[in-house]
Structure 1
């Protein structure tokens, strides 16, 4: 048994709707003398065919609006709800058409009710009436390089779904404007309303652009449009009053508003310049004022190596103790071709000021992260789009590894104790049969001046003088066979290699030299020749 083609059935339904137009019923004749008046012809208003809808949520309401206009302007073409639903389905494309195919072919009951079909259509492809992201987009919306008209158009598009009151909308719109336009709109109160406020901003921006194009070669005019220098100047003893305009302002606040709107100087009340370029303003006194200079500090970053199955890349990781997670930028994630998974919940990232930045929905990993030459680990990173840092290692990572940092150089001086068990897996561990039997003693030099209690065995009692420190410290008498070692005159003195000493060895050497000088074993010399000095460890651990 062959399965009916859904596309052919849909085309046939549209064809039946077009040919089954209701015929005009002739009116009944009331009398022989009354002429029969024909029914007025049905005139269809020309309506453009809706743009095919592929399933994008932002296009859902617009597509339904176009379909409702076509159904309203041409009612004779679509006599029942099934024909109207068929017309809407004929305008679908892509995933939206794949969604509607089983609904039509299986004769779902919603295809016989236009209202039910539209309600279900909005549930699948539409956006909720109250979308919290609209408020976030309104807060982030700035004019930037856009014209005021384009900025206002995007603002109006978001206003309808925001649900904000007019006062909040005016404040948000003003904060997103260019500072120059915002400066000239400061004289207007918020009570004029949002619509008029936006019209004023567009009108002022248009006039300002015309003035810039007309006077673009005049440096004086360009200087007047620059933002005035934000420096507090000392108040002069007296300000010249312009009698010509003294009757136009009754209060200081009105006078300041008039100067702002008319681009007048705050000192001489003339147009064409600001107080910073006023020709008659007295020169400021030279006062020694030291203003604090904020040096641009570099963020604390470390170089890490990221390794995947087929790629290895070095990147800079930002150490941020205020971050609640570990992140990787979306650009670097795509560059490494990392596989991502959807997080169980959506995380909202906020700035220090509490302003929402981005929502995180994907997790990348596991990937191999190496810091330095030895420290390695497997880590999962949240994907943060539009991040200026390649990698962000947050507080959880710092608590896990507990590194000691040099805040001046940004280097990691020491890792936490737990890292030696899991982050250094490839380090060789020395094996020794007496690993746990090595004695640890303080190094010292035996001095003959110190009294010692040495237990001499009875069998060596006849050699008691050998073990006497005072006798052992005396030099033996000179013998006839003692001979001098004379150096050859003019020959270079041999030089030995200088070896480094530890702190304990250097201390022991100084004590030995001091005692040897006091005992007369050695004497001070200025000769460039020297003898080697070395240490021999004794059984008790001393030198």
Structure 2
């Protein structure tokens, strides 16, 4: 069936308003002759259902195939979903590639019309249209769970092509198929064997559009990454530095598969009095997900991470895709979280933590493996984490993702583990650890002390995510070096390529995303005051003005030239800048370098 993502890429309006009688007569004769041809070529003993089930386009055109399909649907008792499936299965592979971007929820008739229109548009030569005086390019919003994009009109496409601009990002020097910021389109036409979940053969579309940068042989089956709960293994695994070879057990992948013991830091789930227990429904799963779910449930039961539940509370279970192709199991705790008494301990402030790095020149970044699963649920609270699946009712024995208290619980645990190292040479933020020092000798000693603490508390690291003895590292959205702190260039590019907001929600997304780096922009609040004013009140519609557009573009320009934030030096004088407000007090510390 077509992809669930709705990309309305082809807007074809080629039907004339007036049809001459000879053309109409010829069209009727052609339609009747096509139906007669298909009926003669079909076995007379086949029922209408059999003919629909075995219908194939073959050497016929899309128009001829669609005409005969309509004659069969008139005599069929199948519902629309079954008819749409039969029509889709009978199309030739090259039509699959073009129509896989359309959502099947548009209905059977609309899908038939779009199939024919798309094929007609693909066969026609491009039409040169007058170029407008100015054309606004549309860019994709780089945010999670994106399922739609803005389409360029034919005039806008022609204008971009004439200027040599990419139809995706609007920049020069490359075409859309080579765009460096364009994510791969979800178009795949492999031959699959569902029983063992293997790919028999990747199609040319897969290699051209999605697998061009992967060193995969074409002669052997490739295991389906989309059915794996764990991320695909990397072909290149970094080695543990020689000076830390004695801590090889801290990087173990197998140790995290064992049920951890109860600690003093177990996750306690305290509920408000008189709460209503969550009653989650069972979410439908896509084709590869049932097998992934069964594998995850079987593995988690074997490891002891979950156990069957008989109590009435239950939340919903579903999967979300990872960037590397795996599937992440998630529990929908949105009904449970408001009923939980929240932990009083907040997460540390990242900017304040980064100020401790002054004078540091060498950095090591560590990331824990399966961090939350290393914390047990307090005995007796397991039933509160229960979830429903199509195959059973289960509850967690380890702390799952999705609970509102999970980050605070784990941060408290990390602070207890590294309490003697914090504010000296360690920054710990949930499962990310940064070690910093002024010289190599101290740094090796610090890293060994941290690894020893991890060993003592049965915590394990992802070697592929660790970086040792680096002059610069990416940490929590920042690039940290001896010179200071910079914005992550990937995040900056996302801001620069952000399209003009067309709704209140889109503007909220933009301001929320850019506000993360407000410390790098002088007078950020004053610059964004006009945009923020558009969100006041209970307005549901965004009133975008030329002035707002200028502020939007100015903010992008400022982000592209944002300066480096130097580490504060307590030996140098500070300047305190205070506002002149009569209703409040605000101040900013700055330092000349």
Q: Normalised by the shorter chain, which TM-score bucket?
A: under 0.3
Normalised by the length of structure 1, the TM-score is 0.25
Q: Which has the higher contact order (CA 8 A, sep 6+)?
A: 2
Larger radius of gyration: 1
